[in-house]
Amino acid sequence: MSAPFQYVDHEKGQGVELYYEDECIALNTWDRKRGPGDHEIMLNPRAVELLIQSLTEMQASIRTRYQKAIES
């Protein structure tokens, strides 16, 4: 089964994917240029909620800063 979310930067040899692991969501990252091996973190539903909230706030902050830079 493929991951519901996967991002791969082929140029940098890095990637991240999210997939189901029992009652959790697994976050797996890799960086092939730094050597073999993946790093998997298991996130429970509450951790996922907090991650989504943080990512949404960070995205809004980036957009605000970008807009301010354009207006300057």
CATH of the domain at 63: 2.30.31
The pLDDT tens digits for 39-63 are 999 999 999 999 999 999 999 999 9
- The DSSP result for 28-71, as a single string, is EEEEGGG-S-EEEEEE-HHHHHHHHHHHHHHHHHHHHHHHHHHH
Q: Which of 17, 16, 24 is nearest to 1 (CA)?
A: 17
Our count of domains for the chain comes to: 1
pLDDT higher than 70, residue 1: no
pTM over 0.85: no
> Rounded to 5 degrees, what are φ and ψ at 46?
-65, -40
Cα(40)–Cα(28) distance, rounded to whole angstroms?
A: 4
65 burial (CB, 10 Å; 0-12 / 13-18 / 19+) is exposed
The pLDDT tens digits for 8-38 are 999 999 999 999 999 999 999 999 888 878 8
For 52, the domain range is: 5-71
